[in-house]
Amino acid sequence: MLDCVTWATAHLFGSALAEQHRLRYRVFVQRAGWNVPHINEMEWDQYDTPAAHYLVWRDPEGVARGVVRTSPTDIPYMIADIWPELVTEAPLAHAADVWECTRLAVDPTAPPALRREIRNELVVGMIEFGVARGIREFLHLTPMAFVRSIFWGNDFTTRLIGGPAPIDGIACGVCATESSEAALATVRAATGITGPVVRWPHDVVPATEAA
């Protein structure tokens, strides 16, 4: 199950918001060696804003093992700000119904079977979130190995709109992935996930009410 967390709803999900920053530190700073801001073993950047939505997969102990961040493109977003020249096969999006996905991470220390489970829930949850929010397309700058295994490998309607191009020595592409009921049905069939995977704020009973 994925918690859909924002700054405004973080109080409903305990430590989920902080936990996804800790996971990102382990994946992107410790493992990948990225030179990005971090403090107290938590990683963040300028796109961690009140507009960002985080889909966070946590284990029974509450430790984040998977995350993807998504934000609308009608505000400043990473591809447009940092790599606009990579988008060569479509206009650069600036629309409320086109969102960017970033910081997709799965805990590399998890067992392989669990990593696959988390990955599948993240990819299904992304489209589930999109359908619920009226999003028609997601943009993502992704290593081509991820595109092949995660997106094309799960039968997403994903097209390359820029690249591949090397970023830090890794071949990356800018992709656009369809968000629709049909796309959700397709990726659920590909992953074998039949039911909802996103836990929304209205699904959570505030601690004051539960007491």
Total of domains in the chain: 1
Rounded CA separation 201/12 (Å): 7
Residue 150, amino acid: I
Rounded CA separation 60/46 (Å): 30
Answer whether residue 208 shows pLDDT above 60.
Answer: no
Parallel, antiparallel, or unpaired for β 53-58 and 137-143? unpaired
Output the domain CATH number for residue 136: 3.40.630.30
Calculate Rg over the CA atoms of the chain. Answer: 16
pTM above 0.95, yes or no: no
Across residues 173-180, what is the average pLDDT? 95
Our CA dihedral for 16, 64, 168, 164, rounded to 10 degrees, sits at -90
Tens digit of pLDDT for each residue in 39-96? 999 999 999 999 999 999 999 999 999 999 999 999 999 999 999 999 999 999 999 9
Tens digit of pLDDT for each residue in 14-35? 999 999 999 999 999 999 888 8
Domain housing 161: 2-210
SS3 (DSSP) at 170: strand
